[in-house]
Structure 1
Amino acid sequence: MVEEARMRRGRVATPRGRIGAVLGGRVAAWTGFAAVHAGLIAVGLHVPGSVFHDVSAVYLDWVQRAVDGAGVVGIDLPWVYPILAIVPIGIAFAFGPEHYLATWFALVIALDTAAFAVLLGRRRLSPTRRVAAWWWLGLLALLGPVALGRLDAITAPVAIVALLLAARHARVAALLLTIGAWIKVWPAALGLALVTASRRRLEVVLVALAGSAAVIVASLVAGGAGAVLGFLGEQDARGLQVEAPAAVPWLWAIALGSTASKVAYDHEILTFQVSGPGTDVVAGLLTPLMAVALAAVVAVGVVAVRRGAPFGALLPPLSLALVCVLLVCNKVGSPQFVTWLVAPVVLGLCLRPARFAVPALLVAAIAGCTQVLYPVLYDRLLAADPAFVLVLTVKVLLELAVLGWSVRAVWKSGTRRREVA
């Protein structure tokens, strides 16, 4: 009886309690972090499909050409990415071309390590941050090795840190998101969410403008006057990539036997695209549709702010909604884009884990669908195999579900005036 009383009071740990304490600690989290990253690299190096080809071939070729005097992309030559993307791509060349891929992995893991450390914090590990940390690791495992093999692997941890610091260090968050946006455009959506939700929006805007001005001036000094904004035109010239949400109707047409539509490789953009009746029109409409959708979501956020939405209740769903708009209205649907959803969900799980359980599960399902499609079985999607077109359709529907949930959450945040702990 005495022993049972002690166990009830927590003085004697049960075996289940000991296991929970071990798995819930920092050592377990960091062990999981190392295992997931090592596993992703090992799988990516051995599965068919050349999942790291963009890094080991395309990125390396850009740097090698610059070293050989053939011109620097983004400065001497037009480029599909903003100018600061050359920084991580160039850093990976530090130990020569033969170690390029290994150096890239080291850079990505270093950034993920910094973000994971910020997420875990220096104080006692809270249950909410523990859940967010394990969710992130699970998401990486579900998405697969592509999570480490693109430029998005550089911007994703930067975005996580920015959102985690946004409440107390708005200017630092704004600077990080500005840097991220000049590497890969999508963090600008998080910056837009921060401007909308923050009471210090003027400071956020000024930091973003100052950071962007510094990048542009540096590019002009380096001789990139004709290419500094060239990435906008390069993106606008794209057609419908095969994984894009808007490509689904044409993929179903091909799957059902249509010969009017087809999937072909674009050697200039270096990606597979869908062509057929109406694809050019749809591709041309997606960019203005994206702008209208972003404005509509921001308008809902502004209404929520005026109705007294607390910063912590508004920023996570607003960030998620804006990023979802980028995904749903995008002419490109590359698998690594799923990492854009990580930062808003991590923040939401840290602040409001119960309310963010639904989008966390939906995003995990999106990641799982993505790995089914890429890289091992990607050829089946390119051939418009009905089973894999169905998987892509389910993925798009899940993205729309996340968008719907997040817009609703933004609206409802304005009805709750209590502060989030």
Structure 2
Amino acid sequence: MPATPTTDRSHAALAAAGEVLLSRWGLITGFVLAHAWIVLDAISWQGEIFGDVSLYHWWAHQGFATGNWPVLDYDWVYPAAALLPIAAPAAGTTGFLAYAVVWSAGVIALNAVAMWTLVRTPPRGRLAAWWWLVFLVALGPIWLGRLDGVAAPLILIALLLAARRPAVAAAVATLGAWIKIAPGAVVVALAATAHGVRRLVRDVVVPGAVVSAVVVGLALAGGAGARAWSVFGEQEARTLQAESVAATAFSVARLWNPDVRIEYNDVIFTYEVHGAAARQVASLLDAALPIAVVLIGLLAWLAARRRRDLAGDVLLLSAAATLLALIVFNKVGSPQFIAWLGPPVAAALALAGPGARRLWSPPALGMLGVGVLTQTLYPIAYGEFLRGEVWMVVVPALRNLALVALLVGAVWRLGQLALPDRRASRNVALRGREADIPGR
């Protein structure tokens, strides 16, 4: 179809709009507007969004007032380094409102660093930055009021640095893992894709060991003792959280079985599925989760050695698959966990070549859908979910099925890369047959 003046003007207008959006000021404006929307949304749902922040404030206030700190003086549900972002906003502030403002500003500032790193990543960091902003808006404000708002930017920064500065990436990811376990997925991916023992030790083991030694050393110096590792024991007593992936069957069964009940655990402030069957599933997940992480790591190790030319893609796939496994096989299914999944997609969109971009486009769209469904679940309609209203039983079920599908897709692609390159094998065989033909 021949071009017309109208279509030429439309194309020119679209190109100009694209240039504006991808310009420095376009990205700054997008960042400010996205975070302003998220903050306003968080304020409108302040009880649901800042409930954990009030607990952070209480821990920090008690620590400064009485010298009685979590980890140092009693067992805690978070890793030891989580004390840093939780205590920092309480220094020099009084009252919960001031603490919440400083907390939110700190999370947004850390995300600004991640965004700046993303924008500066060739070849398509600026386009990926827009996807990251849209993803955060789709997910809603839940990440702003949780430690996951600290963990997610650290995951993104580590993934973006992995190719150029693997040792720095390992240090950032290890620090993140001592704040919230999830960034450890990047450490697993870095270890699995390291070429040779020397690089593994230099780029992963040493940085991780140094950061861990500092964190544990400070905790022990503060009197933590064995409590420096208390986070692992604290998770064992939990049962199946109501919105977790593994709880989907129980949640759906509420539509016809009144014996399936969701009850509030006032010790850990979480709704859980009641009953022996749910406890048994939770116990099985305690074993399944580490097994899944190890298997994904082994698959990534094989893929990185089969396809050295695609080591960067393998690392991103490994991180994505591991983070998905940390949700799919987790008896805890908090909505803020979804924030972990945006960084590998954003990093892939920024770093990947044309073929790999096509590979990552479907999961990028899928993750936006997962974000919207998660925000619908919490905070918008969590009450309807707890009451077992049909539409809000369906929404989290669809979200959880999408997470399983994304995990299967990531593992499938890793498996393809881990297998011998069939095309290369066919080419070698063809050349061999040609050499056997007389006269050649």
Q: Normalising by the residue count of structure 2, what TM-score does the alignment of the two structures yield?
A: 0.88
Cross-structure match for 1:108: 107
Higher helix share: 2
Distance (whole Å) between structure 2 residues aligned to residue 176 and residue 313 of structure 1: 20
Cross-structure match for 2:27: 29
Give the C-alpha shift of residue 131 in structure 1: 2.2
Q: Deviations over 1:363-391 (max 9, x none)?
A: 11111110011112111111122211111
**Matched position secondary structure for 2:263:** strand
Give the C-alpha shift of residue 397 in structure 1: 0.7
Cross-structure match for 1:235: 235
Q: Tell me which moved more, 367-376 or 18-27.
A: 18-27
- Give structure 1 stretches of 5+ with no counterpart: none
Cα contact 2:170–2:186 (8 A) shared by 1: no
Q: Deviations over 1:145-203 (max 9, x none)?
A: 11211001011111111110111111100100010000001111111011101222222
Q: Which one of 51, 63, 67 corresponds to residue 60 of structure 2?
A: 63
> One-letter code of the match for 1:212?
S
Distance (whole Å) between structure 2 residues aligned to residue 417 and residue 53 of structure 1: 53
**Matched position secondary structure for 2:225:** coil
Distance (whole Å) between structure 2 residues aligned to residue 130 and residue 403 of structure 1: 26
Distance (whole Å) between structure 2 residues aligned to residue 16 and residue 373 of structure 1: 35
Q: Which one of 37, 41, 44 corresponds to residue 42 of structure 2?
A: 44
> One-letter code of the match for 2:131?
W
Cross-structure match for 1:148: 144
Cross-structure match for 1:272: 271
> One-letter code of the match for 1:290?
L
Cα contact 1:48–1:376 (8 A) shared by 2: no
Equivalent pairs counted in the alignment come to: 406
Q: Which one of 178, 181, 199 corresponds to residue 174 of structure 2?
A: 178
1:81 maps onto 2:78 in alignment: yes
> One-letter code of the match for 1:35?
L
Cross-structure match for 2:296: 297
Aligned CA RMSD, in angstroms, stands at 2.2
Give the C-alpha shift of residue 112 in structure 1: 0.6
Q: Which one of 376, 397, 417 corresponds to residue 401 of structure 2?
A: 397
Distance (whole Å) between structure 2 residues aligned to residue 304 and residue 48 of structure 1: 45
Cα contact 1:308–1:417 (8 A) shared by 2: no
Cα contact 1:81–1:184 (8 A) shared by 2: yes
Query: For residues 416 and 313 of structure 1, do their structure 2 counterparts lie closer, same or farther at Cα, with a shift above 3 Å needed?
Result: farther
Q: Deviations over 1:124-156 (max 9, x none)?
A: x74x21221111101100110112110010111
Q: Deviations over 1:282-326 (max 9, x none)?
A: 111101101111121112112212213422121111110011110
Distance (whole Å) between structure 2 residues aligned to residue 378 and residue 97 of structure 1: 32
Cross-structure match for 1:190: 186
**Matched position secondary structure for 1:264:** strand
Q: Where do 1:345-360 residues align within 5 Å?
A: 345-352=345-352, 353-360=357-364
Distance (whole Å) between structure 2 residues aligned to residue 314 and residue 90 of structure 1: 37
Give the C-alpha shift of residue 241 in structure 1: 0.9
Q: Tell me which moved more, 249-258 or 352-361.
A: 249-258
Q: Deviations over 1:206-263 (max 9, x none)?
A: 221222122111111110003100010001111111111111122122232422x211
> One-letter code of the match for 2:417?
S
Distance (whole Å) between structure 1 residues aligned to residue 94 and residue 422 of structure 2: 55
Cross-structure match for 1:250: 250
Query: For residues 383 and 198 of structure 1, do their structure 2 counterparts lie closer, same or farther at Cα, with a shift above 3 Å needed?
Result: same
> One-letter code of the match for 2:92?
F
Distance (whole Å) between structure 1 residues aligned to residue 422 and residue 25 of structure 2: 38
Cross-structure match for 2:131: 135
Cα contact 1:254–1:384 (8 A) shared by 2: yes
Distance (whole Å) between structure 2 residues aligned to residue 95 and residue 140 of structure 1: 30
Cross-structure match for 1:262: 261
Cα contact 1:48–1:375 (8 A) shared by 2: no
**Matched position secondary structure for 1:255:** coil
**Matched position secondary structure for 1:252:** helix
Cross-structure match for 1:367: 371
**Matched position secondary structure for 1:247:** helix
Q: Tell me which moved more, 296-305 or 98-107.
A: 296-305
Distance (whole Å) between structure 1 residues aligned to residue 46 and residue 144 of structure 2: 16
